[in-house]
Amino acid sequence: MLNLIIFGPPGAGKGTQAALIAKAYKLAHLSSGDILRQELKNGELGTQIKKYQDSGKLVPDNLIIAMVERAAQKKIKSPGFIFDGYPRNLRQAKSLNKFLATQNTAITVVLNLKLSEREASKRIILRGKTSGRSDDNHQTIKNRFQVYRLQTAPILDYYKQQKKVINIDGRPDIDLIFKNIDKLLTKLK
Ligand code: AMP
């Protein structure tokens, strides 16, 4: 299996690139943010999730870990996964490792999309005009970056120790970023 994590700050373009990569490599695209947004219609649980998302905080690990693993289990026959927005902290990263090990597989590489907070927040504000996402506003964006810095960015070290991190320049346009990723992944095969 080819199992990828697309990593980077909010607004770096993870979702866009993940969709392109999933299509080109026939991978199952698992976006934890999308999985959660689908659950919003789900009564009491939906209300809880919305509170976390609207404040920019991470939803509790037990919830998101179970949801992502259930979604992955459903797609276990695919040629691989691309995890988007997941894992977001060390506990999730370790759970994911364990889950993949039970399936006799592992993370192949982490694609680290690099973009400054300044550029990324500009993109989110722009996206907010059309995304309809209630968390694409100034205050929530500030919180999401803080959560990224404190909880998510540190897990890069965990993957660096395993020599799995590939840095990708997140500044060019969508097509060029994808071309760069595609070149790197072709070499891996
Ligand atoms: P995203 O669509 O990836 O930007 O995620 C939007 C929001 O969903 C985040 O700000 C969190 O509140 C929640 N979320 C998404 N993925 C995770 C995750 N892996 N762990 C906890 N919360 C998450």
CB atoms near residue 122 (< 10 Å): 13
Give the residue extent of every domain in the chain: 2-116+153-188
- Give nearest CA residue, ligand 1 atom 5: 33
DSSP structural state of residue 58: P
Mean pLDDT to the nearest integer, 120-145? 93
Tokens of 181: 């990723």
The pTM score is 0.97
pLDDT digits (tens, 9 = 90+) for 37-79: 999 988 889 999 999 999 999 999 999 999 999 999 999 999 9
Q: Comparing C-alpha atoms, which of 136, 8, 151, 177 is closest to residue 83?
A: 8
CATH number of 2-116+153-188: 3.40.50.300
Q: Tens digits of per-residue pLDDT, 133-165?
A: 999 999 999 999 999 999 999 999 999 999 999
Atom of ligand 1 at shortest range from CA of 56 = 10
32 Cα: distance to centroid of ligand 1 (angstroms): 6
Of 134, 124, 130, give the one whose Cα is nearest residue 49: 134
Say whether pLDDT at 25 is over 90.
yes
User: What angle separates helix 138-147 from helix 43-55, to the nearest 10 degrees?
Assistant: 90
